A = this chain, B = another copy of it.
Amino acid sequence: MSRFAESQDDLFRRLNASISFDRRLAPYDLAQSRAHVRMLAAVGVIPGEDRDELLRGLDAVERELDDGSFRFLDEDEDIHMAIERRVTELIGPVGGRLHTARSRNDQVATDVALYVRDHALAAAEGVRELMASLLSLAERHLDWPMPGYTHLQRAQPVYVSHHLLAYFWMFDRDAARLEGAWRAADRLPLGAGALAGVNFPVDRRQVAHELGFSAVVENSLDAVSNRDFVLDYLSAAAICATHLSRLGAEIVLWSSDEFGFCEVTDAFASGSSIMPQKKNPDAAELLRAKAPRIAAHLLALHGVLHGLPLAYSKDLQEDKEHLFDAADTLELCLEASAGMLEGLRFDPQRLADAASDQFLGATDVADLLVRRGVPFRQAHGIVAGLVRDALERGKALSELDEADLASHSDLLDAEYYEVLRPDRWLESKQSEGGTSLERVREQLEQARGRL
């Protein structure tokens, strides 16, 4: 940029240069340069021989990047300049034509959009694989009872399959959201130039088509100042990470000695540097711990964009590290969680014991009264009295005798004891989406249909 008399201060270079992280955009930058060059030739802005030379240069750069022989120089401020610099070294001054009818502003927006599209799909794919793991785990534990919790208090029993499928549907929404982020980023920024359009009769639609975009951004200022597609990706990623944190937290809980519901495989656990007996579910803990990181990246980008005047400002360079780390983190977490789930072993006895806590049937007793004509609110009160009675006397509900029952309601007869049979509480939840086996089988069917 030779209008400057002075060279860059080293501090400035360190603050300003993005090459240390934006080199990851190289494949996207090469793809867009190829499409750009072909289009420039197609519309006659550059001759065919220049196109061929440029493509040759780009191919050579790609090989160097792939085999690690590409040498980045100190003055390579960003990946775009590094590539153009090297192309020019390789093919001579014609390399200077690469930047015809293009600015770094529309160029970088295009690279980032391509990155987002790729990684939105990669994450969606990771989510689908995790869903497959969950589905398979659910199928293998179809009729294993476990307590369902509200407020982390045992509430009503459910099947392990049913509990696992709750996550299946969360992740199903994530996959849709990530695919939606991919779809939302379907307009090509390139051709907007610095901000106002370019002075050449470019064919943006041709470039869009070659790069897989369905259309072009309608407004050149918007094209260079917009990072909605990154926000969309990060919004979707943050929700997915929050779901993973819930899954991780439950596995940590279930792996505790007190719950004892499951054990992660050694391959996804670690020991202690001091306590030889320890086996820690580190992977599950990290799933929990990574969610705030991704949410923070989202928030940081909102912060960067806050109050930012149009069109391009350097602040937008702060989109990339947030995006890259979020994508790396999410993709790794998805893969690791699928791996961890595959090796998870549930303990049927601990689960069954916990699920047979008779208080879990209290709602069923209340509903028995409802079926006999008592309004639910009163029925609830009657059973609450029974529960208090049982607790105070240290008894299970089924240990109350008929006289005890009669003191609470004259509608409680032998069916009361029938209702308190553990298997009843599970199978009575016949409503659509409920935990009875028939309904869970329906769900499994639906779930298979989604994959």
Contacts and interface: CB of A to CB of B under 8 A. Distances in A.
A170 to B, nearest CB: 6
A55 interface: no
A16 B250 CA distance: 18
State how many copies of this chain the complex holds. 4
Interface string A223-249: 111101001100100110010011011
Contact of A169 (B217, B304, B386): B217
Contacts of A433: 191-192, 197, 204, 216-220, 223
Nearest to A385: B2
Interface string A334-364: 0110011001000000000010010110111
Interface string A308-320: 1111111111100
The A interface is mostly helix, strand or loop, or mixed, namely helix
Contacts of A317: 286, 289
A379 B199 CA distance: 14
A150 interface: yes
Interface stretch (A27-35, A60-68, A268-276, A399-407): A268-276
Contact of A306 (B169, B292, B316): B292
B291 A303 contact: yes
A272 B147 CA distance: 16
A23 interface: no
Contacts of A297: 296
A276 B380 contact: yes
Interface string A159-180: 0001101101110010011001
